[in-house]
Chain A
Amino acid sequence: MSSARQSTGFAFIAPLLVLMLVAFNAPIAYMLGLAFWDKAHGFTLEHYAGLLEAPVYLRVLGNTMRIALVATLANIVIGYPLAHWMRGLQNRARLVAIALVVLPFWVSILVRTYAWIVVLGNGGLVNRALQWLGLTDQPVQFLYNELGVTIGMANVLLPFLVLPLFAAMIRIDDRLLQAAASLGAPPRTIFWKVYFPLTVPALAAGTLLVFMLCLGFYVTPAILGGGRVPMVSNLLDTLINQIPRWEQASAISTILLIVALVIFAAYRRLDRKASAT
């Protein structure tokens, strides 16, 4: 019985395994080959040496890191209070709040990015409000610069932080907090000594996930940056579609792939820890 189960189990995954090997693993392997291979010399690191020599690559890398960091920080600053507030809501209000977080998660990233052009444009809602309040005479330039890209990315990624954080927060037993209060701890102490430490694994996991997603962002910088805020993905687009330099694109992709896998491994460790508490 059990040996029959083993073989049938494998038969169920075999069709998908074949598709993945052909249409996913093989292309990735081919890309790695292009990054490290040269027809004349065999194994080579010259495509990587080429990356270090051109200042444009380092500038784009710096851009990407800076935007990713700021967008991730913005996510924490907005997301943590939001998740914490949702934990304290009553049933119906909490359901509405969850729906408002989940819905954007599923709406096309293009729609969400495009919406910011409408909201942040010179005649948009935010600029109209600022002028009406008398805070500024001239429209503030939000779009086609780093600020716009950062706002757009923070918006798109916020559900990725809020949902796991909220899940970790509602698992915290209220009696734990009551116990701290009955022992005379003031609210501030309860929050920082009891509540916050329990949310740290989920916060760290969510932060890593958001940061990793930021590094590979393509659509939002292309649209809200107006071509003036190139990130790694946009550089890759140029190297594939405009000036074909496949080896260099493969070399950059390989670095990005390794960084993403390292961050993901750290994320998995933290996520297990967060689920265990």
Chain B
Amino acid sequence: MIGASPWSRRLLAASGIFGLVFLAVPILIVIPMSFSSARALTFPPPGLSLRWYAALFGDSRWMEAMATSAILAVLASIAALLLGGLAAYGLRRGSFRGRDGAEGNFMAPLIIPTIIVSIALYLGLARVGLLGSFLGLVVAHTVLNVPLVLMVMGVAIREFDPRIEQVAWSLGASWSHTMTRVVLPNLAPSVFAAWIFAFIGSFDEVIVTSFIAGRYQTVPKKMFNELILEVNPTITAVATLLIGLTVLALAAVAAILARAGKLKQTLV
């Protein structure tokens, strides 16, 4: 703030740094803990080892959970991307009755507390006999990730000049040709970002999954169940892998979007 005394500046800096530390430290502490040689969760670790990673990769139940999570996340994120991407295009470019209502409904899974969605899906799936089915999981994860896709794709489509599409039509291009040759190549970075967000969203989902997965184990569900029972250091290895996955995914999104931004600049 203008003219603030050095003391108030220092106080502000101290509280700002405290806030950042409060946010980041838990994540940063888990990483070294996963390389600890001890069973007890003492910090700093008394020695370094890879025993918790060995325990994790040697456990067939964890490996199975990883495979289930990966397959589920791939299927649900692709479904959310296809349905959500099409819907984002219709919402931004079309004008039909009830458009705002439809958009609100599509965004609702993000707004309504997840526990309510979990209970509604539990009751609904139990009613139709799909509780504990893989189909039920894929459908539920798709519904949950549609809002993320809509947010990313909605912004991208709004910023894409509709006149470019109109030019393609006026030059005689068909709808599908306009889509695959003009719209999609221009939106590719956002499509990739939306897919990554949906993938992480599904891979990390724990609440709905815990309610409706039945005998299926995903990584977050297994982690949640183990954390309630006992604190096992193997979890630090799982947590570190999840942090690594998130950082890689966000870095990929940032890199792709940055490149696309530069690409635009060089074209202009």
By a beta-carbon cutoff of 8 Å, the part of chain A in contact with chain B is 5-13, 15-17, 19-20, 23-28, 30-31, 34, 78-79, 81-82, 84-86, 88, 97, 100-104, 106-119, 121, 123-125, 128, 155, 158-159, 162, 177-178, 181, 186-187, 190-191, 195, 212-213, 215-216, 218-219, 222-223, 227, 232-233, 236-237, 240-241, 246, 249-250, 253, 256-257, 260-261, 264
Contacts and interface: CB of A to CB of B under 8 A. Distances in A.
B194 interface: no
B23 A104 contact: yes
A219 B206 contact: yes
Contact of A6 (B23, B43, B95): B95
B41 A117 contact: yes
B83 to A, nearest CB: 4
B171 interface: no
B1 A191 contact: yes
17 contacts: A17-B87, A23-B143, A24-B105, A24-B117, A31-B123, A82-B18, A106-B249, A114-B235, A117-B231, A118-B33, A119-B26, A123-B41, A123-B43, A187-B5, A216-B113, A240-B211, A261-B112
A88 B13 CA distance: 10
A12 B239 contact: no
A9 B95 CA distance: 6
Contact of B2 (A7, A12, A181): A181
Main secondary structure on chain B at its contact with chain A?
Answer: helix
A85 B224 CA distance: 35
Interface string B1-39: 111110010001101111110111111011001000000
A97 to B, nearest CB: 6
A43 B164 CA distance: 55
Nearest to A32: B120
Contacts of A101: 20, 23
A150 to B, nearest CB: 13
Contacts of A17: 87, 102, 105
A177 B1 CA distance: 8
B16 A84 contact: yes
A75 to B, nearest CB: 10
B246 A84 contact: no
